[in-house]
């Protein structure tokens, strides 16, 4: 890695002592010698293991649940169903007033995705919990499922989630988050070329080294300590408090070094049910995802579809951009309404375009609920935007890098969401990339500046 201090030298004082120094990480020796303690390194006497009975269907009504045989299995201590969860229907972003509550801790009457948690089995050993889970009998009536976002948005499509009543999230702005800036149709009408393209992605796993999990220990005084690898301590505690209808002062969350997050550990999935198990049995409870659960049960990055329509002039100026983004939330909201909205705030990318129209939809389908992941709401949008930029440049016969200089945002430029640009640095990144990659551009672009007047 190289620090190129010649850029922005007038924007910065290099007079610091501890900051800017490549100090060795104080936690590195522990990591590389195996001494660092993770949540799962704790082992309590009489600890129980929790395993979930999961839906084998993408969409089904639950006619009945029979736990009688599972309860008789040697080593089983407690079996939990929906009726045991004090506030079973929840949504995590209720903490920032983004509702409605739309998800069940344990399925109640219906399952909406293959893998959904239905019954929790607590047993003396992992093996006993696994074996007993296989003896839980759930009678399902399979319902039509919908997997394709376009199909889900058509009239008459099966309704994925009754708490929404429609297969998209209803924002205060309507069926999507909207950004309107200038007159996009006039922009297309006056453009030399108009190009509309569709981009698509598939769900992605966070693939952390350490799978999602927690261990809960009763403190003996009606308090419960939850050792967890959540990325957000109080966010998880507060949601657990709502789900369990338990005052927050009864809950003590202890985290520590996490073996990789990438956004995969902000969903509040394992903690509430493990705390409930500890409360009802009076014993420590461990609930740790297997690798299979981490990959197919825990939320992936959403699949997205992005439609971009651009009006561009022969001289390289983009004069209009319309973006329609679709985020596949799966069966429940989790963080997806936030992610889709974040996309609306990100488009049309780091370019100054006078006419912009943005609609971002959060769509429900019968698949594993998606949620946050590194680059949430932006990564797939950037893929779409930057491939589109390459196509536009080639369409008008211009060098793709020079084309970006022409449109790059600079300090003071008004963004589509009506914030003036501050602290821009795209131009300088491209100038350095031009040098580093030996990709020459015209001298006038190398003389540009994100902030200096007249440059």
Partner 1 sequence: MAIRRGRGVAAINYPTGMNLGGDPTQALVHSTPTGNFMVTLSSVDLGQGMKQIMAQICAETIGVPTDRVVVDTADTDTGPHCMGTFASRGTHRAGNAVIQAAREARQVMLEVAAEELEVNASDLETDGQGNILVKGAPQRSISIFDVALSAHFKRGRSISGRGMFLIPRSYPEKETGAMKPSTCYAHACTVAEVEVDDETGEVTVLTVKNVFEIGRALNPKMVEQQLVGGSWMGISHALYETTEPYYPDRDHGGTDFNQYLMPGPGDLAQTEIIVLERPSADGPFGAKGPGEMCANPQIPAVANAVFDAVGVRIDTLPITPERILRALKAQASN
Show contacts with partner 1 in window 333-362 (CB under 8 A): 338, 341-342, 344-346, 349-350, 358
Q: Are 76 and 135 in contact (CB under 8 A)?
A: no
Residue (288 or 416) nearer to partner 1, CB: 416
Q: Which one of residues 49, 380, 392, 445 is an interface residue with partner 1 (CB under 8 A)?
A: 380
Indicate whether 365 belongs to the interface with partner 1 (CB under 8 A): yes
For 135, half-sphere exposure in the C-beta direction (CA atoms, 13 angstrom radius) is 17
Residues 27-46 that bind partner 1 (CB under 8 A): 27, 31
Q: By CB under 8 A, which span of 68-76, 127-135, 259-267, 311-319 interacts with partner 1?
A: 259-267
Task: Quote the CA–CA distance of 104 and 388 in Å, as a whole number.
Answer: 40
**Does the footprint of partner 1 cover residue 428 (CB under 8 A)?**
yes
> How far is residue 82 CA from its own chain's centroid?
26
* Nearest distance in Å: CB 166, partner 1: 18
* Overall size of the chain counted in residues: 455
Instruction: Pick the binder of partner 1 from 139, 141, 222, 292 (CB under 8 A).
Output: 292
Beta pairing, strands 137-142 & 60-66: antiparallel
Alpha-carbon distance 113 to 6, whole Å?
Answer: 54
Q: Restricting to residues 61-90, which ones interact with partner 1 according to CB under 8 A?
A: none
**309 touching partner 1, by CB under 8 A:** no
Window 97-156: residues binding partner 1 (CB under 8 A): 114, 147-149
**CA 410 to CA 406: how far, in whole Å?**
11
Site for partner 1, residues 226 to 245, rule: CB under 8 A: 230-235, 237
The single residue listed with the structure tokens 């789900």 is 243
Residue with tokens 């992992």: 126
Is the alpha carbon torsion for 412, 417, 419, 425 positive or negative? negative
Give φ, ψ of 403 to 5 degrees: -60, -40
- Decide if residue 296 touches partner 1 (CB under 8 A): yes
Residues near partner 1 (CB under 8 A), total: 126
Stretch of residues binding partner 1 (CB under 8 A), selected from 133-141, 185-193, 269-277, 425-433: 425-433
In the complex, what is the shortest distance from the CB of residue 250 to partner 1, in angstroms, rounded to a whole number? 12
Stretches 132-140, 175-183, 275-283, 318-326: which one binds partner 1 (CB under 8 A)? 175-183
The interface region with partner 1, picked from 62-70, 77-85, 184-192, 257-265 by CB under 8 A, is: 257-265
Contacts of 47 (CB under 8 A, 6+ apart): 215, 283, 284, 285, 286
How far is residue 376's CA from residue 353's CA, in Å, rounded to a whole number?
23
Could you tell me the two tokens for 351? Answer: 């370019």
Binding segment toward partner 1, per CB under 8 A, in 70-78, 99-107, 278-286, 375-383: 375-383
Is residue 382 within the footprint of partner 1 (CB under 8 A)?
yes
Contact 426, 450 (CB under 8 A): yes
Name the residue with tokens 């089904």.
60
- The span from the CA of 143 to the CA of 135, in Å, is 23
- CA–CA dist 433, 51 (Å, integer): 51
Residue 380 Cβ vs partner 1, minimum distance, rounded to whole Å: 7
Whole-number minimum distance, CB 421 to partner 1, in Å? 9
Residues 6+ apart with CB under 8 A from 426: 350, 404, 408, 409, 450
Which of 246, 251, 273, 318 is the binder for partner 1 (CB under 8 A)?
251
Closest to 280 measured CA to CA, from 78, 52, 67, 51: 78
* CA within 13 Å, CB half, 409: 22
Instruction: Tell me which stretch binds partner 1 (CB under 8 A): 72-80, 156-164, 183-191, 416-424.
Output: 416-424
Q: Determine which residue in the list 168, 188, 253, 364 makes contact with partner 1, applying CB under 8 A.
A: 253
* Residue 445 beta carbon to partner 1: minimum distance, rounded to whole angstroms: 12
Structure tokens at 170: 């209803």
- 369 in contact with partner 1 (CB under 8 A): no
Residue 404 touching partner 1 (CB under 8 A): yes
Please report, as residue ranges, which positions from 185 to 224 form the binding site for partner 1 (by CB under 8 A): 197-205, 207
Closest contact distance (angstroms) between CB of 351 and partner 1 is: 9
């Amino acid at each position: 890695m190289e620090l190129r201090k010649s850029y922005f030298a007038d924007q910065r004082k290099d007079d610091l002592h501890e900051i800017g120094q490549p100090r060795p990480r104080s936690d590195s020796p522990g990591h590389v010698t195996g001494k660092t303690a993770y949540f799962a390194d704790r082992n309590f006497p009489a600890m129980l293991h929790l395993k979930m009975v999961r839906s084998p269907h993408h969409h089904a009504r639950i006619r009945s649940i029979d736990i009688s045989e599972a309860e008789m299995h040697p080593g089983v201590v407690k079996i939990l169903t929906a009726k045991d969860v004090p506030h079973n229907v929840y949504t995590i972003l209720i903490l920032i007033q983004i509702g409605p509550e739309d998800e069940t801790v344990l399925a109640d009457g219906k399952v909406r995705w293959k893998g959904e948690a239905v019954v929790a089995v607590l047993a003396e050993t992992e093996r006993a919990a696994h074996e007993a889970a296989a003896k839980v009998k759930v009678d399902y009536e399979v319902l039509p499922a919908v997997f394709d976002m376009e199909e889900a948005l058509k009239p008459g499509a099966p309704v994925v989630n009754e708490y929404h009543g429609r297969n998209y999230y209803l924002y205060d702005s309507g069926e999507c988050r909207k950004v309107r800036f200038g007159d996009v149709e006039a922009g297309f009408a006056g453009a030399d070329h108009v190009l509309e393209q569709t981009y698509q992605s598939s769900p992605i796993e966070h693939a952390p080294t350490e799978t999602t999990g927690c261990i809960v220990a009763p403190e003996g005084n009606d308090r419960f300590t939850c050792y967890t690898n959540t990325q957000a301590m109080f966010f998880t505690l507060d949601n657990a408090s709502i789900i369990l209808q338990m005052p927050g002062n009864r809950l003590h969350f202890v985290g520590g070094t996490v073996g990789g997050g990438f956004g995969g550990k902000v969903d509040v999935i394992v903690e509430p049910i493990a705390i409930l198990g500890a409360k009802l049995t009076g014993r420590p409870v461990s609930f740790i995802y297997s690798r299979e659960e981490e990959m197919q049960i825990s939320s992936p990055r959403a699949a997205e579809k992005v439609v971009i329509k651009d009006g561009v002039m022969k001289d390289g100026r983009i004069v209009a951009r319309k973006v329609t983004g679709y985020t596949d939330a799966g069966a429940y909201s989790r963080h997806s309404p936030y992610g889709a909205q974040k996309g609306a705030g990100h488009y049309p990318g780091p370019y100054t375009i006078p006419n912009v129209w943005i609609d971002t939809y959060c769509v429900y389908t019968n698949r594993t609920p998606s949620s946050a992941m590194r680059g949430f709401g932006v990564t797939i949008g950037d893929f779409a935007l930057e491939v589109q930029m390459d196509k536009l440049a080639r369409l008008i016969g211009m060098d793709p890098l020079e084309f970006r200089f022409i449109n790059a945002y600079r300090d003071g430029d008004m963004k589509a969401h009506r914030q003036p640009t501050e602290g821009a640095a795209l131009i300088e990144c491209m100038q350095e990339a031009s040098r580093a990659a030996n990709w020459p551009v015209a001298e006038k672009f190398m003389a540009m500046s994100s902030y200096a007047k007249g440059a």
